[in-house]
Chains A and B, each alone.
Chain A
């Protein structure tokens, strides 16, 4: 089966910020070749409880599945010759960290291509040389500010989101630039800033400052409806959204409480609960929390889910990571992929495709490679000799 990016070659000199971007291309048919220095690229060495030398840990396994790996010391003259040879046959190059130094040389390689450089703050500007990582990018990009409890520290969004946000933007921008290259023959250089990507993911916070001169606070005081929150129930927590803009949800909650004879229903029918502004204030949030958690105290979250479905209330269980593999919807849709993984000596259960096409064009062909796994396969005999000569020197 022809895949969307079949026949496309990507040279991946990236790292943690772009690893997921090039993986998106790999799973749709592109040949993605990670070119690593002999010690392995930086994201192989990220400390992780699951780290396997030569392979990397869970992070590397997830973000590099379906790619190939060759080792070339591209900083040496001979290594550059080898790299240049495979670059000539490429349409896309991802650059990150030290490999960004290669940009001027790659621009001199014949043939049009897309060069996507990812960095924490961009390739120019006063913070260009600042050290960055996920926590710092979420802080400097404004995302951490928006989560947490007033009076306590702002909170990052978990699980290294800077890498995913940056990769998602980098992948979309690269695909658009590739369209232009293939339609008009025009190559492009894309300078992706992780800080800017994070700052692009702040919902309406910049516009609230721009038009109303208010800084949104964590906790959503004055913005989030009293119902838009996490509530304790038996067996865990549920999340509810029943603002007045979701009338089926709000009416469903009130009706559910009435039918069960809960006294809180009468209170929710009073006039102040029809006032959108009041509903976003701290006292009404607190009142609703106490009232609704009292109502839910004897209800298990599985029962709450069943009611949500039946009554069309926007309400769902708060799942832990350990719940996800047993999610009935995901199991029904056969979401997960069991990928044989030599690093771990068995199959590893991966999240499946982020999107489903009506033709089977998405697939993970193989696990993230060990360092240099595809040297022989990809580098021609002469290139291999050049590489060995260098390695021996």
Chain B
């Protein structure tokens, strides 16, 4: 399905990079008109972020950008020029939401503070997503997604138990906590506006948002007084619960035994009745006490099998196990994702075919059909004419002033 659930809503989207555009993509994929306000001279860094078709960089060639900006429209302006700022204000006059993920003060410098925007559109929903919030002694701290991991505890908790903190290998908060908290907050504000007529500002500190994804260790420490520390893949309460090497090059599987019965079944599969009969290992606490013995028994079994063989055999016995998959196996091999039509292959004028993740659910049994992302500035004239109501002469005048940044001719 190509849903129109949010048709009629308009978002003036000044977000860029990772978290912000992933949040507004939720709206465009469901039919809201999301107007991405861009610049060719100061482009969204993700437009210039790898991977590129054939490894050749270009404003319209990034697969990363494509994955975060489906079904949006693009207007390309030079916001240093007053007439371009006026055009944005005109778009806002006809919008429901304005979004940004700049640091504190940047929107003020564009003349787009909450008060200024509210003067144009009193019931606007105004989403701001600075890293550490708009106020406070560290509000000026700069960072990327991994910086958010560092200050929230994700970095400290990710690592081997006997090694230094490593952190998630991605800018993890940009891809989960912050975009979806942001989208949820905007949807809530829109619902309240529908009933009350009042707009609102949302100040989403990406650090505060991310800390909620660490609610379990934070609340656990508040209750017990004991703070969690990094522990590889192990569990505090279950064993064996880890990632094990399998036969093949860099092949791994996850095995998670979460009941004593599963342990008993596992020892049968391993052919280790001696372990199954060992009274000291019948409870998880005993297995945790002798974790090295337990894990080495599992590891010597997995090492002789492919991850797929391990998973098939353990899942047949009702034990949670999974191959450690990566992008190639997810796209090319995984029968579950294939059968559910998870990967969509879109035609793109410059990239050719691009493979993108579907929104991770079926809606009424169907996939949410994606629409390709915009070329930079693709909708500039259309949006100025149809949303801002500008005449052709006025658009031409903006072009002469340099307020419109047409993409370079390739």
- Where the two chains meet, the residues of A that have a C-beta atom closer than 8 Å to any C-beta of B are 2-5, 20, 24, 28, 47-50, 57-59, 61-63, 121-128, 130-142, 144-149, 152-161, 164-165, 168-173, 175-180, 182, 188-193, 195-197, 199-212, 214-216, 218-220, 223, 228, 230, 232, 237-239, 241, 245-246, 248-249, 305, 308-309, 312-325, 327-330, 332-333, 335, 344, 348-359, 361
A196 B215 Cβ-Cβ under 8 A = no
CB closest residue in chain B, given A238: B150
A136 B230 Cβ-Cβ under 8 A = no
The complex places the Cα of A141 from the Cα of B365 at a distance, in Å, of: 21
Beyond contacts A176-B30, A305-B138, A351-B211: 11 other A-B pairs, Cβ-Cβ < 8 A, are A62-B218, A168-B180, A190-B362, A206-B330, A208-B50, A208-B327, A209-B331, A318-B155, A320-B153, A351-B215, A357-B200
Q: Mind listing 27 A-B residue pairs with CB under 8 Å?
A: A2-B192, A4-B192, A50-B220, A122-B336, A124-B340, A130-B320, A135-B235, A135-B322, A153-B233, A164-B176, A164-B213, A164-B215, A173-B359, A189-B363, A206-B327, A207-B356, A210-B354, A211-B351, A316-B141, A319-B153, A320-B229, A324-B214, A329-B136, A330-B208, A354-B209, A355-B204, A356-B208
Contacts of A160 in B (CB 8 A): 216
Contact flag A154-B243 (CB < 8 Å), given A139-B254, A168-B180, A245-B45:
yes
The answer to whether the Cβ of B101 comes within 8 Å of any Cβ in the partner chain is no
The complex places the Cα of A319 from the Cα of B154 at a distance, in Å, of: 8
Contact flag A327-B151 (CB < 8 Å), given A124-B340, A321-B227:
yes
B interface: dominant SS: mixed
Contacts of B396 in A (CB 8 A): none
Select the stretch in B34-42, B159-167, B273-281, B376-384 that faces chain A: B159-167
B155 A321 Cβ-Cβ under 8 A = no
A12 to chain B, nearest CB (A): 16
Contacts of B5 in A (CB 8 A): 176-177, 179-180
Most buried by A among B53, B158, B176, B183: B176
A155 B321 Cβ-Cβ under 8 A = no
A190 B168 Cβ-Cβ under 8 A = no
The complex places the Cα of A127 from the Cα of B132 at a distance, in Å, of: 40
B128 to chain A, nearest CB (A): 10
The complex places the Cα of A193 from the Cα of B330 at a distance, in Å, of: 14
Select the stretch in B62-70, B75-83, B85-93, B397-405 that faces chain A: B62-70
B192 A308 Cβ-Cβ under 8 A = no
The complex places the Cα of A328 from the Cα of B138 at a distance, in Å, of: 8
Contacts of B208 in A (CB 8 A): 330, 333, 335, 351-356
A32 to chain B, nearest CB (A): 14
The complex places the Cα of A160 from the Cα of B238 at a distance, in Å, of: 13
B320 A241 Cβ-Cβ under 8 A = no
| Contact pick for B361, options A173, A175, A208, A305, CB 8 Å | A173
The answer to whether the Cβ of B111 comes within 8 Å of any Cβ in the partner chain is no
Contacts of B207 in A (CB 8 A): 329-330
A309 B233 Cβ-Cβ under 8 A = no
B252 A133 Cβ-Cβ under 8 A = no
A118 to chain B, nearest CB (A): 9
The answer to whether the Cβ of B144 comes within 8 Å of any Cβ in the partner chain is yes
CB closest residue in chain B, given A30: B188
A329 B133 Cβ-Cβ under 8 A = yes
B323 A190 Cβ-Cβ under 8 A = no
How many chain B residues touch A (CB < 8 A): the figure is 158
Most buried by B among A146, A157, A228, A344: A157
A351 B200 Cβ-Cβ under 8 A = no
B215 A230 Cβ-Cβ under 8 A = no
- Give the A-B pair count, Cβ closer than 8 A: 504
Contacts of A173 in B (CB 8 A): 359, 361, 363
B322 A140 Cβ-Cβ under 8 A = yes
Contact flag A204-B6 (CB < 8 Å), given A319-B153, A355-B209, A356-B204:
no
A320 B227 Cβ-Cβ under 8 A = yes
| Contact pick for A153, options B217, B245, B334, B360, CB 8 Å | B245
A348 B355 Cβ-Cβ under 8 A = no
B141 A207 Cβ-Cβ under 8 A = no
B340 A193 Cβ-Cβ under 8 A = yes
The complex places the Cα of A212 from the Cα of B243 at a distance, in Å, of: 28
User: Contact string, B302-323, partner A, CB cutoff 8 A, digits 1/0?
Assistant: 0000000000000100111111
CB closest residue in chain A, given B174: A203
Contacts of A140 in B (CB 8 A): 254, 322-323, 325, 334
Contacts of B340 in A (CB 8 A): 122, 124-125, 193, 196
B242 to chain A, nearest CB (A): 8
CB closest residue in chain A, given B317: A131
Q: Which 9 A-B pairs have the closest CB atoms?
A: A207-B63, A196-B360, A239-B150, A168-B180, A139-B254, A4-B188, A146-B169, A329-B138, A209-B327
Contacts of A206 in B (CB 8 A): 67, 327, 330-331, 343, 355-357
The answer to whether the Cβ of B170 comes within 8 Å of any Cβ in the partner chain is yes
The complex places the Cα of A306 from the Cα of B154 at a distance, in Å, of: 22
Contacts of A171 in B (CB 8 A): 180, 184
| Contact pick for B326, options A145, A238, A241, A335, CB 8 Å | A145
B190 A179 Cβ-Cβ under 8 A = yes
User: Contact string, B230-256, partner A, CB cutoff 8 A, digits 1/0?
Assistant: 111101111001111100000011101
Contacts of A199 in B (CB 8 A): 330, 337, 342, 357, 360
List which B250-271 residues lie within 8 A (CB) of chain A: 252-254, 256, 258
B54 to chain A, nearest CB (A): 8
The answer to whether the Cβ of B391 comes within 8 Å of any Cβ in the partner chain is no
List which B132-148 residues lie within 8 A (CB) of chain A: 132-133, 135-144, 146-147
The complex places the Cα of A314 from the Cα of B147 at a distance, in Å, of: 7
B189 A308 Cβ-Cβ under 8 A = no
B222 A354 Cβ-Cβ under 8 A = no
B155 A239 Cβ-Cβ under 8 A = yes
| Contact pick for B157, options A125, A245, A249, A321, CB 8 Å | A321
CB closest residue in chain A, given B145: A203
The answer to whether the Cβ of B109 comes within 8 Å of any Cβ in the partner chain is no
The complex places the Cα of A315 from the Cα of B222 at a distance, in Å, of: 28
| Contact pick for A332, options B137, B158, B184, CB 8 Å | B137
B219 A202 Cβ-Cβ under 8 A = no
Contacts of B26 in A (CB 8 A): 172, 176
CB closest residue in chain B, given A61: B219
Contacts of B362 in A (CB 8 A): 122-123, 190-191
Contact flag A50-B224 (CB < 8 Å), given A157-B158, A353-B208:
yes
Contacts of A180 in B (CB 8 A): 3, 5
Most buried by B among A136, A155, A171, A323: A136
